[in-house]
Structure 1
């Protein structure tokens, strides 16, 4: 079943690095796992999110993961709010 998933918001901590803030890849990955599990009951595996993503509203990036039946998926991530060490995302998933 290849269904696109749409989520509202997820929260993840940011890591202060050098002069700016960047998203913790493991925190973004946990947000993807939590979202997919909540909406579908399936727990995705091998979630990979990039390092060095600036924690700034409007920033977009992709995480990749393995879904049901070994299908590769992409989670399109967009930062909607940054509040201290909390970041809110809008997440959409789709088969890669």
Structure 2
């Protein structure tokens, strides 16, 4: 039986999201957003309507794009490989990306 090679390389998007600077910044912004919504009831209802709209639009967009994405899977895999190599170089040149926001001192950069 022939074995199929499986690309176990994480997507560049996953790698970027998991960078300590990116993930800790997301956590910080998310926390501020949630606390702001909780403090202002009128703003909360507007934000919740916007969130619902974004979820609906995203769902429709993903459903519509899925056939195209499946057809382009080989090209996307190649692009992901190049993007990951580029991210490796960026991480080498910008070590700040591997530090959470609370450890970043802009004076160093």
More strand by share: 1
With normalisation by structure 2, the TM-score equals 0.22
Higher normalized contact order (CA 8 Å, seq sep 6+, divided by chain length): 2
More helix by share: 2
With normalisation by structure 1, the TM-score equals 0.24
